Structure formats: structure tokens, C-alpha cells
Structure 1
Amino acid sequence: MRGDIKESILFLFKEEDITLFNKAELSRRYNCDPRTIDRYIKIAKGEIEAGTQKREYKSKLDEFKPIIINKVDKYGCTAKAVYQLIQKKGLYR
């Protein structure tokens, strides 16, 4: 969520009727899409909830993280050396 838009919309919502404002003009003012402004207005009105769900990113190398950290910390291996080790063990192709 963009904090500047959220604070401005909430301020306008408290002061005046937010439906009187032009969403296109507000979007130009804050350099964003009009749908973003519409979403923040709906959040301020309580029609929808703000999204709190965070995306979880996974990597192919997550399962090898302990091995990689061990080699880098203990032996000072470079990324190329770690990659070759993983390839040699047949863990990653």
C-alpha cells in the first residue's frame, strides 16, 4: 500500500464527502491508476478490507540453503564454487 495515498484519502474522507472528488484527477495528482484511488476510497469507507496477505517467494535453492551458508561461512567459497559443488553432488541441474 502506498502510504501517501492512504493518508490523503483518509484525510479527505474525514474532512469531506469523498465521492465528490474526481478519481481521475486524484490519480494524476498522486501519479497512480484511478483504480488504486477507487480501492483506497473503498477501504476508507469500509466496503473492503486492506490486503494484509504477503506473497511467499520460493527458490529452487531453498532446500540447499544450509549447505550454501556452511560453505560460504566456513570456507569463504565463491558463488561459482558453491554452484559447482551443488552440480557435482547432483543436487541441482
Structure 2
Amino acid sequence: MSMRKDVYERMRYFVLEKIKPNYSAVARQYDVDPRTVKAAYLKAQSDKTSVVRKRRSRRSKLDGYQDIIEDKYAAGCSARSIYDFIVEKGFTGKYTIVKDYCRRFRKAQTKKATIRVEHTIGLSAQVDWKEQVTMTDRNGVSHTFSIFLYILPYSKFKFLKLTLDQKQDTLFKCLFEDFKATVELLKRFGLIICRLSLNIN
């Protein structure tokens, strides 16, 4: 059975960001079995390991600089500016090597499957958890918590809440609070529209 690309890409993001996913939550979001999500996560981990091994199999002057180049190029930097930057970091290769690498990276990014979802205003939202985040306070005491994140994709409005677990009751409480925040936002937005309308008239 072929793996759904949207689920795989989501798990690939989790692997790259070093986030441990909640299989059940992601499964509900994509309407798939949690085992499918776990399989996609394990495949994404395996693919990343294969890429790392392949890079290490042959020595190149770019070794140690690939991640920097990819990050800078993805951020919109030119090959020349990237070359100048890594030269300051100790790179001894030629500019053409960097230019060619940027070209190959661009082609690889273009070939990746991209799934676009059209969002209707006010009818869709994205919910996610960042689980088991541990931080240490000034007294050396560790605190472990999770982060509930709710995003309205059209306006990019975000609602974030710290929680101590990911239980269903906690999820419903977070959803209730973010719905309430969304309603308040819409009320304020509606008031602004009314005032603008009165000023125009």
C-alpha cells in the first residue's frame, strides 16, 4: 500500500524539527490509522539517516557546509553571498562548487510533491501539539509540559497554551478557549469594519 504523501511530509517535518509526534492526534487530523502515522514517522527517520550516510560516504569540500548552504538558499540568499559567508567560516573550495550545489538543491526542492489545501475563511483551522518540552528554571528545577497550538490558516491567527498532558478533556478545554478567543477576535474585527463603514459613508 502506498503511503500518503501529506502524512509522510508531516512526519518528515517532525523528524527535521526533532519533535516526537502524537500518533493519535495526527491520525485524527489526517483521518488515518495511528499505525499509518507511526509508519510514516519511522520511514522519515530512515530516509534522513540514509541521506546523512550518503553524504558521509564521499568526502567533499562542501562537507560540513551543506546545511548552512541549504538554509541560506532556502531563506533567499544568492549563491555568491552564501559562498562569501562560508569562506569566512573556513571554506576553501571554489565558488562554482557552491553555485552548482545551490542549483541541484533548487531542482530537488522543485521536484518535491507539494499538496496545497485551499482554506475557506473561518471554516478551517490547524491544531497541533508539541509534546514533552522540558525547561529548567533559574533554581535548576526541571518542568515538563506540552504546547497546544491552534492556527487559523487564512489569517495566521495563533492561539497557544501550555498544558501538562494531552488528554481528551485537556484538548476540549483548549479548543473551547481558542474558539472563545477566535470569537473575541471576530467581534473586534467586526467593530473595526463597522467603524470604517461609518467613516466611509
Q: More strand per residue: 1 or 2?
A: 2
Determine which structure has more spread, i.e. the larger CA radius of gyration: 1
Q: More helix per residue: 1 or 2?
A: 1
